Structure 1
Amino acid sequence: MKKKELGFVGSVEQLAYVRSSVLSDGAGRGNRIIDVNTGGGLQFTIHPDRGMDIVECSFLGINMVYRSGGGTRSRLEYQPLGTEWLRSFQGGLLTGCGMRNAGVASGECGVHGRLSNTAAEDVSVSREWEGEQYVIRIRGVLREYRMFGEDLRLVRNITCIDQSNIITIEDEVENLAGQTDYLQMLYHCNFGYPLISPAVRLEAPEHTVEARDADAAAGIAVWNQMPAPVPGAVEQCFYHDFKDTAEMTLNNSELKIKATVRCDTAELPRMVQWKLFDHGNYVMGIEPTNTRISGRENEIAKKIARAIAPGEKIKFRMQIEFASTK
């Protein structure tokens, strides 16, 4: 809305609102959540106690995301070693992976690191007029710390404008320790049914596509398509490397809805595509990242891990946009 329209409403909350609450039942009991309604057809929920992840999301009343069978989970269930991360994986629009490992388990770092199972502090919500735009901003601070070891501080800002259907995620990571560390970040965007169906196509500007392994190589000719669920199907992962604009769009011709993930390539030069069409595990992940998800120790040894010096700050920026194609 514009300021000149204020005379038509008693409160801006008629058109766009933010609402904070605490879950009272189930495995996620006690989790803080923040519901956002932009007034343009987009609704989503932020989970500050789960790494400031964005979990639930709908557009025009239609679900956009994949949710894992475990549903909403408490971070207190987190088990860090090996693949135990999967026990508390919630799915949803954005699962943060990092900060010291994103990808396969590596040494003391389990799959996808600790970020999604870290509680945010200094959480705040602001709703302000910036010129003619009514801007909603949710901020939270996340720490990965060990005495005599790592000390990484992440400040996340999630921003949207009323009547708009774009979510902007901006992270700033600072190394507060006295020694150089290695920073791995992956923004695990998990899209699901009904957006993801055989009617969806994955579209992108010209770029390179690489299969991660033999399973992915078997499906590389149809990387941009999604079959119906196949019981026992195994996941396929593809690396998408971009020169200029990193952007991928899921376009569903039946729903007449599309979802676009875009990011700045300065620090997020690559997107990993996670394609899984197993029965009950039907998901297309679009994942901006600065890694090759091959594990922290492996990437340090190959000298491809992103170093972060003491006192250095690194910024990441990405957007998720929804639109009707009717």
Structure 2
Amino acid sequence: MNPYIGHDSQIWSVEEHRLVGGKGDGMRLLEISSGTGVHLTVSLDRAADISRLRFRGINMGYFSPCGYVGPAYYDRREDHFLKSFTAGFLTTCGLESVGVPCEDGGEQVPMHGSIANVPAEYYRWEEEDGEIVVHAQMRDEVIFGRKLKLIREIRVSLTEASFTICDRIVNEGDRTEPIELLYHMNMGYPLLDEDSIVEVSSEQVRPRNAHAAEDLENWMHMEKPQAGYEERCYYHECKKEGRASICQPKLGIGLEIRFDPKKLDCFTEWKMMGVRDYVLGLECGNCYPDGRDVMRRDGRLKFLEPGKTLTYHVKVRLLEK
């Protein structure tokens, strides 16, 4: 008990809001303030992803021109995912596919899968041992097809500037399913600009295509916004340590992402220095975004047997320099 305060919300808070108007009308948002300078928004109708992240009042993530888009507007055809890609700090990609749409195993799978457009059918939050813990469950299920459940916990520390995403994927069907998962974490202005310092604990970096190869030596150097910029993607192999960070020296802030490189063995850097499309993706995952068919061909596609569970953890720590 703190004798100086009348209510816990003077120090930390969790509030549920609903959006009014536009394509996000009616969407449920959990606004969380930790009391350590971390403020994040959990989008309950979009897989309990993190749409907003601020530290000490400064924006850290990227918010796309789409803005908030409710799951009713989702279109799984080809690359129409981009019409509802809010981005935010975190968009979860998967579970049936990640990356470019393709045909694999006799199935047409959409760009980045559909889990990011699945509302939480159940959620609750509690304060537990110095953390705010958000629990949410999403089902990625179809008749005559996959029966997958994503059980998510977001643990926000009340004592340090950090939070952890703890995910369990459960196969509740009767057949072995391919599983692709990508934590599409998106850095934005003012954390991101041409002076940002980017580091990844990779032993090897390879370009996704010939265009990215032309500037491979500058994968860690950010640029000013440029009209007509073509995205560059780099694939990082992190074998001993899973860590990526970005710092903004002008503001004295940054963030660090930590993950298990044995489970999340594919790290993608998405460098997009366009006008208004100005974003850096630091994305740990169990696959690269080349399409499920390519991952199968390369022997990197993961599978989940009936009744089994896969567990993943990603920790984000906010930094002051």
Corresponding residue of 2:45: 49
Corresponding residue of 2:303: 307
Equivalent residue letter for 1:213: N
Matches within 5 A, 1:1-326: 6-107=2-103, 108-128=108-128, 130=129, 134-325=130-321
Report the Cα distance in structure 2 between the residues aligned to 1:211 and 1:118, rounded to whole angstroms: 32
Equivalent residue letter for 1:156: R
Report the Cα distance in structure 1 between the residues aligned to 2:97 and 2:89, rounded to whole angstroms: 20
Q: Contact between 1:246 and 1:270, CA under 8 Å: does it hold in 2? A: no
Give SS of 1:7's match. Answer: coil
After TM superposition, the score normalised by the length of structure 2 is 0.96
Report the Cα distance in structure 1 between the residues aligned to 2:93 and 2:200, rounded to whole angstroms: 23
Deviations for 1:275-304, whole angstroms, at most 9, x for unmatched residues?
A: 000111110000011112111123223332
Report the Cα distance in structure 1 between the residues aligned to 2:284 and 2:253, rounded to whole angstroms: 21
Q: Contact between 2:122 and 2:138, CA under 8 Å: does it hold in 1? A: no
Work out the percentage of aligned pairs sharing the same amino acid: 29
Report the Cα distance in structure 1 between the residues aligned to 2:87 and 2:299, rounded to whole angstroms: 31
Q: Contact between 2:259 and 2:313, CA under 8 Å: does it hold in 1? A: yes
1:206/1:80 CA distance change after superposition, 3 Å:
closer
Report the Cα distance in structure 2 between the residues aligned to 1:322 and 1:207, rounded to whole angstroms: 24
The structural deviation recorded for 1:142 is 1.0
Equivalent residue letter for 1:100: E
Equivalent residue letter for 2:137: V
Report the Cα distance in structure 2 between the residues aligned to 1:264 and 1:205, rounded to whole angstroms: 12
The structural deviation recorded for 1:81 is 1.3
- The count of residues paired between Structure 1 and Structure 2 equals 317
The structural deviation recorded for 1:11 is 2.3
**Unmatched segments (≥5 aa) in structure 2:** none
Deviations for 1:101-131, whole angstroms, at most 9, x for unmatched residues?
A: 0111122211100011001111111113x2x
Report the Cα distance in structure 2 between the residues aligned to 1:204 and 1:295, rounded to whole angstroms: 23
Q: Contact between 1:16 and 1:163, CA under 8 Å: does it hold in 2? A: no
Equivalent residue letter for 2:150: L
Superposed CA RMSD = 1.2
Q: Which moved more, 1:119-128 or 1:299-308?
A: 299-308
List structure 1 runs of 4+ shifted beyond 3 angstroms. Answer: none
The structural deviation recorded for 1:206 is 4.9
Equivalent residue letter for 2:118: T
Q: Contact between 1:200 and 1:251, CA under 8 Å: does it hold in 2? A: yes
Equivalent residue letter for 1:261: I
Give SS of 1:98's match. Answer: strand
Q: Contact between 2:239 and 2:262, CA under 8 Å: does it hold in 1? A: no
Deviations for 1:244-299, whole angstroms, at most 9, x for unmatched residues?
A: 21101101111111111111123102210000001111100000111121111232
Q: Contact between 1:23 and 1:31, CA under 8 Å: does it hold in 2? A: yes
Equivalent residue letter for 1:125: W
**Unmatched segments (≥5 aa) in structure 1:** none
Q: Contact between 1:242 and 1:270, CA under 8 Å: does it hold in 2? A: yes
